[in-house]
């Protein structure tokens, strides 16, 4: 299961700047269980955005939806029309092809994840090995940053390439460092040996 935590409202409204038709999309799975992006949280978020826009005299139409699982395309297909009708989708869930870094930057990268789609998880542009849209690590794989560039171009937001993504904290990421296997008997043996040394 994935654990999520919602970004603060100020950060979210900055991401939505200039957009008039927003679809807030939740998920009834993991993020619903941890109260970050289920139906209830979607309704609260949508209302907060409406109130904020109204208070600031901005035009903003906010619609809301929650699907069974956003990480499975079969479920997402059911909301294709709503997605197409909006200027932007504010997803309150994780998506397929996410590396679980814990601090999403998709709003700066045209919806293409630099963590999962770039072989080196680069955050501020491609390495020197990208050639003909392919990754130097594997020529069969598209370069993630080429895809980000193409996507930002389609959205008319190539200016976002100028935004510097600062070094991040990996604490909220899913990895927790190198993988470890703990076998109870081995762990017990190690404890006993440590106790012997202490004696
Ligand atoms: S930047 Fe990529 S890995 Fe991080 S949360 Fe967003 S989609 Fe997931
Ligand atoms: S070629 Fe592209 S995808 Fe591959 S490591 Fe470099 S920037 Fe990342």
Residues 117 and 65 in one domain: no
For the chain, what is the domain count?
2
Taking the whole predicted model, whether its pTM rises above 0.75 is answered as yes
What is the distance in A from the centroid of ligand 2 to the CA of 171?
24
99 lines ligand 1 (CB under 6 A): yes
CA-to-CA dists, residue 55 to 13, 35, 59, angstroms: 13, 27, 10
**Rounded Cα–Cα distance for residues 101 and 186 (Å):** 31
pLDDT digits (tens, 9 = 90+) for 94-110: 877 788 888 899 999 99
Query: Is the distance from CB of 4 to CB of 36 less than 8 angstroms?
Result: yes
What is the distance in A from the centroid of ligand 1 to the CA of 104?
4
pLDDT digits (tens, 9 = 90+) for 17-31: 889 999 999 999 999
Q: Which ligand is nearest to the CA of 99?
A: 1
The domain in which residue 60 lies consists of 1-96
Residues 47 and 118 in one domain: no
**175 pLDDT band (50/70/90 cuts)?**
low
Which one-letter DSSP state was computed for residue 61?
E
What is the distance in A from the centroid of ligand 2 to the CA of 41?
36
127 lines ligand 2 (CB under 6 A): yes
CA-to-CA dists, residue 56 to 13, 21, 53, 59, angstroms: 12, 16, 5, 9
CA-to-CA dists, residue 167 to 121, 126, 162, 171, 196, angstroms: 12, 16, 15, 12, 43
126 lines ligand 2 (CB under 6 A): yes
Residues 92 and 65 in one domain: yes
| Mean pLDDT (whole number) for 8-25 | 94
């Amino acid at each position: 299961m994935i654990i999520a935590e919602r970004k603060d409202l100020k950060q979210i409204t900055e991401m939505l700047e200039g957009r008039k038709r927003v679809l807030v999309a939740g998920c009834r799975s993991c993020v619903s269980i941890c109260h970050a992006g289920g139906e209830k949280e979607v309704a609260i978020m949508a209302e907060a955005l409406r109130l904020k826009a109204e208070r600031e005299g901005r035009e903003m139409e906010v619609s809301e939806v929650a699907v069974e699982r956003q990480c499975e395309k079969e479920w997402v297909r059911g909301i294709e029309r709503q997605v197409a009708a909006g200027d932007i989708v504010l997803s309150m869930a994780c998506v397929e092809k996410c590396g679980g870094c814990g601090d999403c930057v998709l709003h700066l990268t045209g919806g293409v994840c630099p963590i999962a789609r770039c072989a080196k998880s680069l955050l501020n542009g491609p390495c020197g090995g990208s050639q003909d849209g392919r990754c130097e690590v594997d020529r069969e794989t598209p370069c993630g940053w080429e895809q980000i560039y193409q996507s930002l171009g389609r959205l008319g937001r190539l200016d976002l390439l100028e935004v510097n993504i600062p070094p991040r904290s990996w604490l909220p990421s899913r990895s927790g460092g190198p993988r470890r296997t703990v076998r109870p008997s081995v762990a017990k043996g190690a404890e006993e040996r440590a106790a012997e040394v202490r004696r």
